[in-house]
Amino acid sequence: MLITTWIVATLNPSILGMIETLGGPIIAMILFLMPMYAIQKVPAMRKYSGHISNVFVVIMGLIAISAIFYSLFS
């Protein structure tokens, strides 16, 4: 515990930046991809499948997630 505390104090990471970086992909998946998954798997929501807007939402979700991962690794 002492070593971990020392490393964190020395590196002084931005906690808000870490939350944004790690929370961003999770929020994007919840907002974009989970509803599209539910449309395919939940029988009561099958009536919404097959719309072109579903493809648009999935593409936008993947772009949002890939942009977050790109900024994470660059």
For a pLDDT cut of 70, what percent of the chain falls above it? 100
In whole angstroms, what is the distance from residue 74 CA to residue 57 CA?
A: 26
Tell me the pLDDT of the chain averaged across its residues.
Answer: 88
The domain segmentation of the chain, as residue ranges, is 14-73
Distance, first Cα to last Cα, the chain: 30
Which tokens hold the place of 19? 């939350």
Per-residue pLDDT tens digits for 15-51:
888 888 888 888 988 999 999 999 999 999 999 998 9
pTM of the model: 0.67
